[in-house]
Amino acid sequence: MTRRQLLTGLASLAVATVVFILPFLFVLINAAKTPAEASQPSFAWPSEWHLWSNLVEVVQVRDYALLLAYFNSIVITVGAMTLLVIFAAMVGYVLQRRPTRFSKFVEFTALAGLMIPPAVVPTIWVLQQVNLFKTIHGMILIQVAYGLSFCILLFRAFISSIPRDLDEAAIVDGATPLQVFFRVILPLLKPVTLTVIVVQSITIFNDFTHPLYYLPGAENITVQLTLYNFQSQFTSQLNLLFMNILLITIPPLLVFVFFNRQIVAGMTSGAVKG
């Protein structure tokens, strides 16, 4: 490493600390304060650390709403991811293996799904017609509908690297299309499936807008909405507000630490295509 590289590194480190790290440190410091000390949030070190008692207090707010919210968010994320992986892989598989005009049309529709903003009020109207408005399973299906495009394109790209000989051998042996897909193809999709799961579950877990529209009601609260709903209640207890921010920042941080490589793969797909 040259002297120049060391110096730019140190300078960048200083700038990045102020711009990117201090805001998160601010959350941590103020999440540990007493309500009085946090009433004017600052970088002043807390006189005593109240992390644990603040955590207990924020969890108890509104009859343990935060725990319910974690439960709901996890149910929605896991449910939607299960359907997304299977359905999107099925579509990506046939799209890649059978490049007909009809497949082109389907692919174009999927691409349009990445661009078109959901028409929210008409979606509520549709959900009401089929009794899915304000229900967790309705929310799961919405997340599937909105996530399909991205997942299909990732699966399609990956399947093009799986040799056709594999499915043909199974077909010759008399396997049905479903058997070929579930026994031969799906097990080979593990790397891209992991990428899809990591990237898409962060998106669903962090989603605020769609639960706000389609999943109103105290019993349906999700993690992102806790923060929004508690905001007015916490104006005199900013320590709890910051603790809440801290609690919803931790899951993505853990995912980031363990699945950095998958996140990079998923987020840069399409960046380097010719």
Partner 1 sequence: MRAKSPYPYWFFLPAAVIFVGLFLVPTVASFYFSLTYWDPFEARFAGWDNYVQFFSEPFLVRGTLNTLMFAFVTSLLKTVLGLLLAVLLTSGMFAQGFLRSVVFFPVLVSTIGVGILFQELMHPTQGAINVGLEAIGIDGPGWLTNPSLALFSVALVDVWRGVGLATLIYIAGLSTIAPDYYEAARIDGATRWQLFWRVTVPLVRPATTTVVILSLIGGLRLFDLVWAMTRGGPGFSSDVLASVIYKQYQAGFWGLSTAGNVILFLLIALIVAPLAWWLNRKELDA
Footprint (CB under 8 A) of partner 1, residues 138-177: 141-142, 144-146, 148, 152, 167, 171, 177
Binding of residue 228 to partner 1 (CB under 8 A) = yes
Site for partner 1 contains 32 (CB under 8 A): no
State the number of binding residues for partner 1 (CB under 8 A).
91
User: Which region among 48-56, 62-70, 187-195, 226-234 touches partner 1 (by CB under 8 A)?
Assistant: 226-234
Residue 14 found at the interface with partner 1 (CB under 8 A): no
For position 216 contacting partner 1 by CB under 8 A, the verdict is: no
Cβ distance 230 to 61 under 8 Å? yes
Q: Which of residues 91-120 bind partner 1 (CB under 8 A)?
A: 91, 93-94, 97-98, 102, 106, 109-110, 113-120
We find the least distance from the C-beta atom of residue 265 to partner 1, in angstroms, to be 9
Residue 192 within binding range of partner 1, rule CB under 8 A = no
Q: Is 133 in the site for partner 1 (CB under 8 A)?
A: no
Stretch of 54-62, 64-72, 187-195, 221-229 lying at the interface with partner 1 (CB under 8 A) = 221-229
249 binds partner 1 (CB under 8 A): yes
Rounded to a whole number of angstroms, the minimum distance from the CB of residue 83 to partner 1 is 8
180 touches partner 1 (CB under 8 A): yes
Is residue 78 close enough to count as binding partner 1 by CB under 8 A? no
> What DSSP string describes the chain?
--HHHHHHHHHHHHHHIIIIIHHHHHHHHHHTS-HHHHTS--SSPPSS--HHHHHHHHHHHHHHHHHHHHHHHHHHHHHHHHHHHHHHHHHHHHHHH---HHHHHHHHHHHHHHHSPP-HHHHHHHHHHTT-TT-HHHHHHHHHHHHHHHHHHHHHHHHTTS-HHHHHHHHHTT--HHHIIIIIIHHHTHHHHHHHHHHHHHHHHT--HHHHHH--SGGG--HHHHHHHHTTGGGG-HHHHHHHHHHHHHHHHHHHHHHHHHHHHHHHTTTS--
Is residue 82 close enough to count as binding partner 1 by CB under 8 A? no
| Single residue of 81, 88, 240, 243 touching partner 1 by CB under 8 A | 88
